[in-house]
Amino acid sequence: MKKLLDHGILIAGVLFLLTPLYLLFVSSTHEVDTLIRDGLQWLPGSQGLAAYEKALNQSLGFSGEATGWRMLFNSLVMGLGFAIGKIIVSMAAAYAIVYFRLPLASFFFWAIFTTLLLPLEVRIIPSYAVVSDLGLLNSYTGLILPLIASATATFYFRQFYKTVPDELLEAALLDNTGPVRFFIDILVPLSRTMMAAIFIIMFVVGWNQYLWPLIMTTEESYTTIVMGLKNILSTVRDSHIPPYDVAFAMIILAMLPPVLVVIIFQKWFVKGLVESEK
């Protein structure tokens, strides 16, 4: 009886999370007319995945460049670039902090640490000004680099390096290993699971960026799928016959890649999340 109640609560939780997604997906397989007339649908419709084809190939903007495919590609670049860039930059920085006795070490540490305090949202306008001054508006570099300027991953790797036994470094020193060699031959291979875990988290964070790309891209060819939703919203609001089916398809497309990544790499994802917030 108690078991049943437990499962009941869990299933209620699952339904609470899953129902909205189901509703949107099922409705995306209906004709727009049905949706306008009868609202969201609980059962699959006749159109199959036609709305997805439209969402992927049709352009939403004026220039014709911002197709669904293009936006997905931009989001992929953003997610991968952010995750990879962040891992490389922060692994290297954490290595310098943990393994060397630098005269300015505590200054560096605090400088990097401070970045944890202020999310990009808080300094969004001056950040825009800096990126604009550097001529990086409408570029992948401008999209990605300012987001890397936070130290979450650096702290994550710092924590991890501290758990690597000292003897490993000592054995390597006796094996005639220099600092660069030790990093590449020993530390990077040892960090593989950690890298995978943090990669999952960072990919999702990068993919899901909204405000920053919204502000700093004006060219449609740089639109990411998450910020593209804003265009969908205004299209739906302004149209006589709102393209609900395409809008729903876009929502599903925008969430599918990061959700799949999290589901497929569940173990690493949980590890990355729990470890990175420590």
Partner 1 sequence: MTAQKQKLPHGITPYLFILPQLVIIAVFFFWPAAQAVHMSFMLEDPWGLASQFVGFENYALLFSDSSYGRSFIFTLVFSFLVSLISLALALLLAVKANSVLRAQKSYRVLLTWVYAVAPAVAGLGAYFIFNRQIGVLSQAFNDMGWAFNPETDPFDASFMLILVAVWKQVPVNFIFFLAGLQSIPKSLQEAAQIDCQSDSKRFFTITFPLLAPTSFFLLVINLTYAFFETFGLIDTLTQGRPAGATTTLVYKVYQDGFLGADLGSSSAQSVILMILVLVLTAIQFRFIERRVHY
Partner 2 sequence: MSKQLNISQLVKCYGNNDPAVQGFNLAVEEGEFIVLVGPSGCGKSTILRSIAGLETITSGSISLAGKDVTHLAPAKRDIAMVFQNYALYPHMSVYENLAYGLKNRGYNKADIEQRVQQAAAMLQITDYLPRKPKALSGGQRQRVAMGRAMVREPALFLFDEPLSNLDAKLRAHMRLEIKKLQKRLGVTSIYVTHDQVEAMTLADRIVVLNGGKVEQIGTPEEIYHNPASHFVASFMGTPAMNFLPVTALGNNVVRLPNAQELHLNNVPNNEHLLIGVRPEHIDLHGHQVKVEINLTEELGASRLIHCQVGEHPLTVATNEPITKFNAIAFNQYYWFDSKTGARLGDSQFIEEEAARA
Question: Which listed option, partner 2, partner 1, none, makes contact with residue 74 (CB within 5 to 8 Å by class)?
Answer: none
Rounded Cα–Cα distance for residues 30 and 57 (Å): 19
> Is position 162 an interface residue for partner 2 (rule: CB under 8 A)?
no
Residue 99 as a binder of partner 2 (CB under 8 A): the answer is no
**CA–CA gap between residue 221 and residue 230 (Å, rounded):** 15
- Cα maximum dimension of the chain: 77
Question: Quick one: which of 47, 206, 224 has its CA closest to 232?
Answer: 224
Q: Decide whether 65 or 265 has the Cβ nearer to partner 1.
A: 265
185 is a contact residue toward partner 2 (CB under 8 A): yes
Q: For partner 2, which residue of 43, 121, 125, 176 counts as binding (CB under 8 A)?
A: 176
Could you tell me the two tokens for 102? 């630098």
The site that binds partner 2 (CB under 8 A) totals a number of residues, namely 17
Give the span between the Cα atoms of 80 and 86, in whole angstroms: 10
Which stretches of 168-266 are assigned E, i.e. beta strand?
none
Q: Nearest Cα to 204, choosing from 49, 39, 40, 79? A: 79
Amino acid identity of residue 72, one-letter, is L
Q: Where are the alpha helices (DSSP H) in 115-151?
A: 124-133, 140-148
CA–CA distance, 67 with 88 (Å, rounded to integer)? 31
The item of partner 1, partner 2, none sharing an interface with residue 149, based on CB under 5 to 8 Å by kind, is: partner 1
Q: Which of residues 137 and 164 has its CB atom nearest to partner 2 in the complex? A: 164
Residues 187 to 206 in contact with partner 2, rule: CB under 8 A: 189-190, 192
Distance of CA 92 to the CA centre of its chain: 21
CB of 28 to partner 2, least distance (A): 46
* Residue 189 touches which member of partner 1, partner 2, none, C-beta under 5-8 Å by kind: partner 2
When asked if residue 174 is in the footprint of partner 2 (CB under 8 A), the reply is yes
Q: Does residue number 181 form part of the binding site for partner 2 (CB under 8 A)?
A: yes
Give the three-state DSSP class for 61: coil
Which span sits near partner 2 by CB under 8 A: 130-138, 171-179, 222-230, 252-260?
Answer: 171-179
Per partner kind, with CB cut-offs from 5 to 8 A, the member of partner 1, partner 2, none near residue 238 is: none
Q: How far is the CB of 267 from partner 2 (least distance, A)?
A: 18
Residues forming contacts to partner 2 in the complex (CB under 8 A) are: 165, 167-168, 170-177, 181, 185-186, 189-190, 192
